[in-house]
Homo-oligomer: A and B are copies of this chain.
Amino acid sequence: MTLTPLFDDVFRAQLAKLFAWRRDIRHFRPEPVPGELLQRLLDLACLAPSVGLSEPWRFVIVDSPARREAVRVNFECCNAAALAAQNTDHSAAYARLKLAGLNQAPCQFAVFADPDPSQGRGLGRATMPETAAYSAVMAVATLWLAARAHGLGLGWVSILDPAAITAALDTAPDWIFIGYFCLGYPQTDDDLPALQRAGWEFRRAPAATIVQR
């Protein structure tokens, strides 16, 4: 055990800025993500909390052009269905949104969760098996912040069919698909969510989400 670090006001102010300037990125510059930087981000992601210390996150780095194309085609298909399901008041606005950077992002990976890992000996999962998936989400949250601190942007693509992605990536059929992620240097930085800039939705006051009991 090394000396306990002290986090001061200067760090806390920077951390708050990191939270505020972390965006879901869909517009990437073409420069590649250095391999050692990706490895560093994955190392940091693995410091996330996990139920029973089970570390159930599984990172699938997707470099194969054919597999990337299969993911892109599935996105196009699911996104067209989502557009068709919009009511007429929203469909034009929906069609204008850019919802993924799959054509541009130099680095792409999927995240899955092993639903029943032997690691952790099942601790904490008996009544809530979904905590395995939640642990993998924690790893994504950690990686997202680390990426932004390194000037990289992450985009979470959820407009996908999990079974199709599992097939496209040839991963274990019991793994839970969490999301597909685009990573790269963003074209722009911003402290407003892209969907708010696009007029789709806006942030509400935190008080709206708090209940007292």
Contact = CB atoms under 8 A, between A and B. Distances in A.
A22 B138 CA distance: 12
A107 interface: no
Contact of A191 (B1, B61, B171, B196): B1
Interface string A34-60: 000000001111111101111101111
A contacts with B: majority SS: mixed
A161 B128 CA distance: 8
A58 B209 contact: yes
List 8 tightest A-B contacts by C-beta distance, closest first: A141-B141, A53-B201, A19-B47, A46-B206, A137-B137, A53-B195, A5-B17, A4-B189
A18 B24 contact: no
Given A15-B145, A53-B203, A158 B211 contact: no
Interface size range of chain A in the complex: 35 or more
A144 interface: yes
B60 A213 contact: yes
Interface in A168-212: 169-171, 177-179, 189-193, 195-196, 200-204, 206, 209-212
Contact of A134 (B7, B58, B127, B178): B178
Given A5-B17, A146-B19, A59 B120 contact: no
A158 B46 contact: no
A200 B119 CA distance: 10
A131 B210 CA distance: 20
